[in-house]
Structure 1
């Protein structure tokens, strides 16, 4: 019996008497636990006390669930009667409730699987009929629509040709839908092309206005000599060298370099708040004058922040954010002795660390009202000596690999600007 029904943990026969359960038969368990011997007296389990009156009378009882020293069990008692119909003992089996729950779950899963299997079969037959008339044409349009929606400008013309090549003819609502869809896509391409052209014109106009504004600011400083365009040129070259070497790969990519290139001309825009007398003073600045000169970093940030606030998201926020960071932090130093905040190391935004090298290099090799231009060798000695102190050493290392070429191109750059 136990081998045929492995969920049964205990099999036994008891005579129920007022003094307890008298063992008639008890089977050893599968794990070797010794059974009670015939004639042993076993006390009533507390969970059976409510059923004692029935058991003493030899009446059948409902299965009992107990959780005691023998485990979580379902106990079934069946009366064993003699030829005269009198109950002389009870045949009992203790079944593991855990096994029962597992069996129920398995049965339910099998039943559910059968139900879903039959349902899927019925649905498959129905869908196959629907597919031929509706789903396949709609899927083809949907696939074409996905390509059309997410592809770039150069692919949209190909997508439109693909949509037209579907050539759906079902002589019903699906064909009407296809024709409407095709016209909508063609109209959308025209609208998108016009919108992109307008956006490009607006962005170009915004860039020109801001750069012209920066050039007006620079024109007040007679000593800079197209400083903003030269530094923008250097910044882009340094960033591309860093990208080539795989440095700062978590930040540097083509989009970031494009932002740097657009942002660089605005790094000194705060000088509009500095007096011409200070900007063009041929001698050394006093402490008070230098304090005013240093304020161009925060003034530039304030100006760009106002532009960002007043344009109501019509300008590229990432571009303005990069411009603000470059304007605010390009005089910070790697060792924390710079201004205006005194931050150090990689706390300084990468754009400002790149601009710091480009800014100082151009200032050194350019002629100013207060000095003659330094030679390339002297300028590079100052730059390399400042690595790890004034400048990010990684940026300086990249700059040294292209500095000679950039210096040689200054004459060409002067003619261009």
Structure 2
């Protein structure tokens, strides 16, 4: 009898221990799965990279009103939380970027650059309220057409003999999709190269290379806009470098606001004339134009008239200049990494390691004001702008403007 009792007692203890052990094992496996899922969410949502300017995105909790309003359509609640975390991160990032751009514009307006007026630009009328979303329609209907120097200009200078006979674009020439590719470091690891090359026209700037960076920036180049420093300074090897061959070229050099074209060409900001002439002699078939210096100030006045704050009294960027040039030619203009994406870093360019935060938000050009106008005209969702990395602006032929 005693042996039976001991056997039953032993069996019950083994059964109890086995049950408890099994429950503990299940409990451990459950929390291990939760830990793995949380780690994956953190890696996807908050992975930090060296030299990247990150913002405080906040924590995602069940107390967040956006979380509470979520209608879960899938069976995996953890995946829905992850998706909501991405949405909140994108929303916060957009707000941080737009707020920073507005702060820069207001800082310029408050007199931060009060004494920085090297071109003697007078005050001009500004917008009365906020960023005007219909500015592209205003540009299409009431703005001076894009203008380059040509042989009909009253310019008394030998350079006139080397200006090309053909225009930069024929009157009837148009494109469906156009890509304007910035030099921004945020293009690194974007994998946008194939998409960029799929455009009918691709515009690039200065000495930005494509070789070795094709995966992110593509290889196709139709037009290249150059500032006069690139044409002038020896380190850019403008006359001999293959980077500037077999494509359309456009150069700009700023003048004093009130200077005549003859006064400007006698004393340009950068002495580009000799290299321009040398290039044209070596490449007589090249379609290489020079922007009329007064057009830069026409464009600046337009930018000021559509910004409800005083902007810096310096010429617009090459990017905004390129946009104004292509809007009449293209049904759609896609601008790559002019509005910084979530790949934002303190580096300036994708092709070298120079660090300068002002490359993104501006301090000399009225860059922040330009970016706010680009955002106002953009037709792409926030995911495309701040994650993929481009804004899309309808060209004149695609506009639907109210009369």
TM-score, normalised relative to structure 2: 0.24
Q: Which has the higher contact order (CA 8 A, sep 6+)?
A: 2
TM-score, normalised relative to structure 1: 0.23
